Structure 1
Amino acid sequence: MTASNKNLIFTVTHGRTGTTFLTEIFRLFDDTRSLHEPEPNYATVFPLVKEDPERAITFLEKKIDHINGYPEGHYVETSNVFGKGFLIPLLRLGIMPGLLLLNRDFRKTASSLFERGSTPMRTQRGRHFSADPRVPGSLPIHEPESLTDYQLCYWGVLDSYARQIQAASVYDNEGGKYRWLTANDFHDFDNVMEIGGFFGLSVSDREVAEKHHKEIASLHHNPNKVKGRDPEALSFLDEEAEVLNRVAFFDPVFVKKALDSLFLDDDVKKVFR
């Protein structure tokens, strides 16, 4: 049976939420290997996993063996693909990593995805990095093929939020460690130290770590360098409300939780109140 000899910490998020920033932040801690999208890369095999979820088991067995080969005792990986098709298979293998449930304003996240052309089920980047509404286990939505590209990006963000809620429920029942977070939580050094301590991480030289943290926090990590599409002309309220409406026919409980979240714009909430 596959087992890990590391303290594993992974993210469940959509991406465009600050994952590259977190990668650098977790490198502050002692005896910690912190990586973003290393090989073996979830994104490479993700299209095949969506076709056959059993492929996730084979991939994870190789992945864990690879991670076990690192010398550090703690392993952090911030790939946003992990939570979209690999968390549940990993739990089935008997491995329960610590989880960072990372969020950002839904509209800003979806707009960033739209700008870079990362559309679920339609573009190459979207197929490798986003879930697919036609695949079992994804957030159900009526007639996904008729959604606009922006609506599919927005659906992808909601899908990741639904997976976070599912993960939190599983971990509450099984005693796993997780935290709801945003990138802003990592701009305060004391908060970073508290979060790291929660997951079993520490620093031996706090002064050096604080200086390095200040340098990391001053940078803009992984901006959209090439904007393929301009979201300015989009009718956000109408498009987002339609996505929520189509999801509500299948999962009204989730829609209520999305409306109650801090990440959904107030104008959209008013439509549904």
Structure 2
Amino acid sequence: MKSLLRRLLPKSMRPEGVTIPVVRLSGAIMAGGSQFRQNLSLASTAGLLEKAFADKEAPAVAISINSPGGSPVQSRLIHKRIRDLAVENNKKVFVFVEDVAASGGYMIATAGDEIIVDPFSIVGSIGVISATFGFPELLKKVGVERRVYTAGANKSVLDPFQPEKPEDVERLKALQLDMHESFIELVRQRRGARLADNPDLFTGLFWVGRKGVELGLADGIGDMRGFLKDRFGAKTRLKLIAPPRGLFGRRLGLFSVRGSSPAADIASAAADGLIDAAAERALWSRFGL
């Protein structure tokens, strides 16, 4: 309502200064999510991004990123949505890195026209990783016989309960190389001549903010409020675009479906949340966080 009233007033009577919409993207990047944890994905961020870019008076959109990475698909989808909205609405995008923008988190960061980091931020990790466990001897020790039936010779590739096969690992690494090349191409397209000529740039290494600026992975050191006031004036205001708030139960999705009890729904959601939390903890821990 306030923004509508401001637009109806003559420009001479409007408050000075501009308002910059702010979207916070924080967490591991994974499709789906649980009722107790919300991951970063296109589904969880699209509405916030649409709302931020819909502000016709704002000359730019600010995006705060704090993510250790995750799904390369969801990372690219979020990146693309940001760029599409920026072009459609003719707005600049400024990305501000908090603790970390690594791997998929950095992929999203490159959607910004400028990337601003803190001296202690971590950026980079331009690579692809797959991690799992192998349990080929466990079943023997506990006296369990596992039976797997497939139609298709490669349906049981990398089965963690079978001995690792060199040809399976070779196939996985080929997929990783394809994804890595696509990641490198995207970074080169967005960062262009700003990138330093450094052989370690695309090896999966990561750096603190100041070194990231030297390497061309970021454009400057600063914080969101100070940067935007320097760019648009001292009276610049920041407007956080947040998800709609609802009742506690509805926000957590605690209304059971027919045939299941609320207690069962809560227990299932809690178990999913623990699994997601463990996966997210592993991503953060790679960067000492």
The interval holding the TM-score normalised by the smaller chain is 0.3 to 0.5
Larger Rg: 2
By relative contact order (CA 8 Å, sep 6+), the higher-ranking structure is 1
Structure with the largest fraction of strand? 2
For normalisation by structure 2, the TM-score amounts to 0.31
